Amino acid sequence: MSTRPSRPRITVIGTGYLGATHAAAMAELGFTVTGLDVNPEKTEALAAGRAPMYEPGLEELLRRHVAGLEGSSGRLTFTTSYAEAAEAGDVHFVCVNTPQRAGEYACDMSYVDAAIDSLAPHLTRPALVVGKSTVPVGSAARLARRLAELAPAGEEVALAWNPEFLREGFAVEDTLHPDRIVIGVAAGAAGELAERLLREVYATPVAEGSPFLVTDLPTAELVKTAANAFLSTKISFINAMAEICEAAGGDVLRLAEALGYDDRIGRKFLRAGIGFGGGCLPKDIRAFMARAGELGAAEALSFLREIDSINMRRRGHMVELTRETVGGSLIGKRIAVLGAAFKPDSDDVRDSPALNIAGQIHLQGAAVTVYDPQAMENARALFPTLRYAPSAAEAVNGAHAVLHLTEWREFRELDPAALGEFVSERNVLDGRNTLDPTAWRKADWRYRALGRPTA
């Protein structure tokens, strides 16, 4: 494989949540970057400095670097042409979506396959293709063979895998200052060159202390899915303990606090509530199970079925708790839902527990009104039959119960006494265990939370 310039030019294929953030961050690190997306509306918005989703700090980076904007570095451009992207870059990051396959647990690889098939014929000179999407283990080897078949440059086009570990709400920080950088490369000269190129790409965070781990391709693919499986397990574990606490009269918050002092366990992800959602954890653990079955190792991940079951059970439990709170029937009741995004500091409503619960309550006869600081437009598109309000006060107007389902700071800072003036009955159900029960009870609210005593 031929040598390349010491300062590689970068392209990013797919400019959704992962790709747009990665492209803007690479420009911030000083690289010339071209972002590609097949959706012209998305590339036009990005070229105007507008992010395709809410992510703190992302639009500031875009405005700082998108070519043509006043005061920008001009290092970041966008296109819908694979030919232009191939010509503009030496290192091509593939950041397209890998959703759950319809009707199955398995991962839908069609977007990744389409990106490789569209890019490869235009790779007429040495290049490195780097997968960042979360894929089933074994995909990289298959895609490497596909690149070798389709790229005119043949074996001078190498493939590496560099999984992403972004937290929505902290994606810019996680890209610029990652807690670790993992790259999977093939054996031989092509793998050595891929490692050198990626060390150049990540030179700044590595110099700041970010660990740089080099593995084989299968291990790199497994890191992200294994990490998500572990996080899911920890979340569902504490939610299972919440079920035990409810049965035994215990307090899951005090239990989690005591567990967290054990440094073998730690405090993170021990917040009991309505469970996890979003575009990663649920579909990734299911795809992991499906792939293990294909590899003949289904029993190794059979525990993830129970993890998934516990997680989904929390949503139903919140619906039942709401019904109980309002007298045994939801028909004709007014329910306010605070939160639509699957987590705070995001407008992402994919597999959102909050919206799932709101939808279930609505189907059981209640009038449900939702408010979220950022996710209203996305929520309305997904659940148009729900009602939406422009503020928390308007959402709770006339409500028989208020459900706190996304832990936005705005909701933690609400004045319970002031909010109580708008509702029909002062019932609050804390689905995230982050409100102050003392403050709400002092304002004459009946406060209830998953896994905690009623008083």
* Catalytic (active-site) positions: 280
> What torsion do the CA atoms of 256, 260, 261, 264 make, to the nearest 10 degrees?
140
Helix residue ranges per DSSP H, 264-347 = 281-294, 303-325
Look at residues 174, 166, 167, 160 and name the one whose alpha carbon lies nearest to residue 214. 160
Query: In degrees rounded to 5, what are phi and psi of residue 383?
Result: -130, 75
- E-strand ranges in 276-416 read 334-338, 367-371, 387-388, 401-404
Q: How far apart are CA 370 and CA 36, in angstroms?
A: 35
Helix (H) or strand (E) holding 36: strand 33-36
Q: Are 249 and 453 in contact (CB under 8 A)?
A: yes
- Burial (CB < 10 A; 0-12, 13-18, 19+), residue 351, is middle
Give 386's DSSP letter.
S
